[in-house]
Amino acid sequence: MVGFFKSVLRYGAVILVMGLLWKAAALALGGVILPHPEDAVAALARAMTTGRFWEHFMASAWRATAGMALAWITAFPLGLVMGFMKRVDAVLAPFVFLTYPVPKIVLLPVFLLLLGLGDGSKIVMIALILGYQILVTTRDGVRSIHPKYFDSVRSLGGSRTDVLREVLLPAALPHGFTALRLGTGVSVAVLFFVESFATTRGLGYMIMDAWGAMDYLTMFTGILGMSIMGAALYEVANILERRACKWMFLRSKG
């Protein structure tokens, strides 16, 4: 509970500072292109009473969440296997590291052609970009596990499966969750980009549509909506990490 209030206080302080900076910038720019923060917040509050806003919000939330989940369930196990099994790593690592620097976002037109204009192409795009981060972080994390933990389970008569369950999985989880948590920002950025094309639903569409119509208050409503969604996803990933890796957040007695 203390942690929850600390989080609220932290967010409150950040929102206050950002609001003051925003207000100063709006005053400097005349309040047209950059609306005053109180006007944008009022517009957001009004939008939140409409079904249309929530339709956009939920479409975006679904795509981001599904993309992150798909990235996790494919990349985390693959990272485990690559980190643990040197032979598999020897085969797959060159593919991963040669394609890692390639900006995957340029493949969006290909995915639109292959998977259609619906949610599938957008979800796969997010999963692909985030998946690389989870894969590489998990694989490197597994390789950094101290051998004494493997010896510890083996010395007790543990099989390879026991080592996987008792050491590999719990030791790799923090790495996978850290990549997921840090990847929420990337996911929302990719979401905005993929929603700029071939769709009429989602906060990304809402922002770009309002921008085209020079309706800056609605544009900022979308931006604020996307910020709230990004913060919520980050916090969910944070809570999952703290629940699944409780031992990581202890103070060592030494």
Partner 1 sequence: MLTAEFLYKSYGGKAVLEDVSFDLGQEETLAVVGPSGCGKTSLLYLLGGLSSPDAGRVLLRGASVTRPTPDISIILQDYGLLPWRTVIDNVALGLKLHGTGRAERREKARAQLAELGITGRDLDYPANLSGGEQQRVAIARAFVTSPRLMLLDEPFSSLDALTREQLQRTLLDVWRKRRIPYVLVTHSLEEAVMLGKRIMVMSGRPAHPVAFFDNPGFGDANIRDTEACFSLLKDIRHTVEDVW
Overall residue count recorded for the chain in this entry: 254
Distance of closest approach, residue 157 Cβ to partner 1, in angstroms: 5
Cβ at position 254, least distance to partner 1 in Å? 7
Q: How large is the C-alpha radius of gyration of the chain?
A: 22
When asked if residue 246 is in the footprint of partner 1 (CB under 8 A), the reply is yes
Using the minimum distance from each CB to partner 1, give the nearer residue, 173 or 229.
173
Yes or no: say if 119 and 62 are a contact pair by the CB < 8 Å rule: yes
The reply to whether 149 sits near partner 1 by the rule CB under 8 A is yes
Q: Which residues contact 50 (CB under 8 A, 6 or more apart)?
A: none
Site for partner 1 in 165-204 (CB under 8 A): 166-167, 170-171
Q: Which stretch binds partner 1 (CB under 8 A): 175-183, 187-195, 200-208, 243-251?
A: 243-251
* Residues 130 and 67: beta-carbon distance below 8 Å: yes
Q: Which one, of 159, 109, 107, 100, lies nearest residue 131 by Cα? A: 100
Is 87 a binding residue for partner 1 by CB under 8 A? The answer is no
**Between the CA of residue 4 and those of 17, 148, 238, what are the distances in Å?**
20, 36, 12
Q: Indicate whether 39 belongs to the interface with partner 1 (CB under 8 A).
A: no
Instruction: Residue 135: name the closest of 170, 183, 90, 91 by CA.
Output: 183
Q: Which stretch binds partner 1 (CB under 8 A): 32-40, 103-111, 155-163, 235-243?
A: 155-163
Q: Is 103 in the site for partner 1 (CB under 8 A)?
A: no
Helix %, strand %, coil % for the chain, to 5? 85, 0, 15
By CB under 8 A, is residue 124 in contact with partner 1? no
User: Are 135 and 78 in contact, with CB atoms under 8 Å apart?
Assistant: yes
Residue 137 CB, nearest approach to partner 1 (Å): 18
Residue 164 CB, nearest approach to partner 1 (Å): 13
Interface with partner 1 includes 49 (CB under 8 A)? no
Beta carbon of residue 158, minimum distance to partner 1 (angstroms, whole number): 5
Query: For binding to partner 1 (CB under 8 A), which residues are involved?
Result: 148-149, 151-159, 162, 166-167, 170-171, 245-247, 250-254
